[in-house]
Amino acid sequence: MKVSVMATPLNILPGALDGAAAIVIDALRMTSVAVTALSNGCAGVLACAEVDSARQAASETGALLGGERNAVLIPGFDFSNSPLEYTRERIAGRRLVMSTSNGTKAIAAVSGAKRALLGAFLNASAVARAVADEESVVIVCAGTLGAFTLEDALAAGAILEALRAQGASPALDDMAVAAQMLYDSAKADLYAALMPTKHFTRLRTLGFEEDLRYCLTLDALSNAPERGEDGWFR
């Protein structure tokens, strides 16, 4: 197995996804939301890069709408991008269409991959198990508005550690080595490690303290959402 990590979707080189299983990470917070919603009985999640396309998809399918722009609820949407809103009582049995500033755009960027899965701290071991038999894995960090974010690299490192714990000995590219080293140095206290960072600080300032602590919980969930032929993650 070879594993590559892309610091942002802009770093995906031509051909990098050919024959590969792609794991998209937007740890704070889109992929954490999707993993949580599906764990709580959501019937499927569709990612749309743009708000208008999300509204259209929801109108055509009867799905609920979730997402944000600049960390704020989009007018007319049913949910924001807080995973704590996606309770079983509100989401079980319903489909969900999401559009966010970063995560849904990263998902669009891996449309050419053989497989596409959603990863986070919450399901690091589960998503590692899901790709254990793949020859090529590409972990794509969503970043924030095109820039590198530490939390996504740390989540990539958590997935790499889970792969090793499950007996894999992957060949890593340099960014994967860096993610592994960053995670090794930060895993004792992820919250403290992220305190100085820009995106983490903004979410704290906006009052999302509970979201942050939840999203940094390692292996709280056991699902590994994967894109189906119809484009929905289940």
pLDDT tens digit string along 202-231?
999 999 999 999 999 999 999 999 999 999
Mean confidence (pLDDT) of the chain: 98
pLDDT tens digit string along 57-82?
999 999 999 999 999 999 999 999 99
User: How many beta carbons lie within 10 A of that of residue 38, not counting itself?
Assistant: 23
Task: Place 54 in a pLDDT band, splitting at 50, 70 and 90.
Answer: very high
What are the backbone dihedrals phi and psi of residue 227, each rounded to the nearest 5 degrees, phi first? -70, 130
The whole-angstrom separation of Cα 140 and Cα 74 is: 25
pLDDT tens digit string along 147-206?
999 999 999 999 999 999 999 999 999 999 999 999 999 999 999 999 999 999 999 999
Give pLDDT, residue 45.
Answer: 98
Strands (E), 94-186: 95-99, 115-119, 136-141, 171-172
Give pLDDT, residue 61.
Answer: 98
Give pLDDT, residue 159.
Answer: 98
Contact 119, 159 (CB under 8 A): yes
Please report how many Cα atoms fall inside a 13 Å half-sphere around the Cα of residue 206, on the Cβ side: 16
Amino acid at 88: R
Contact 34, 104 (CB under 8 A): no
**Sequence-separated (6 or more) residues with CB below 8 Å from residue 190:** 121, 154, 216
Domains, the chain, ordered by start: 2-215 (3.90.1560.10)
Give pLDDT, residue 185.
Answer: 98
Cis omega (within 30 of 0) for bond into 29:
yes
Give pLDDT, residue 28.
Answer: 98
pLDDT tens digit string along 103-142?
999 999 999 999 999 999 999 999 999 999 999 999 999 9
The whole-angstrom separation of Cα 233 and Cα 38 is: 9
- The order of strands in the sheet holding 2-6 is 115-119, 21-25, 136-141, 2-6, 171-172
Residue of 4, 40, 8 whose CA lies nearest to 159? 4
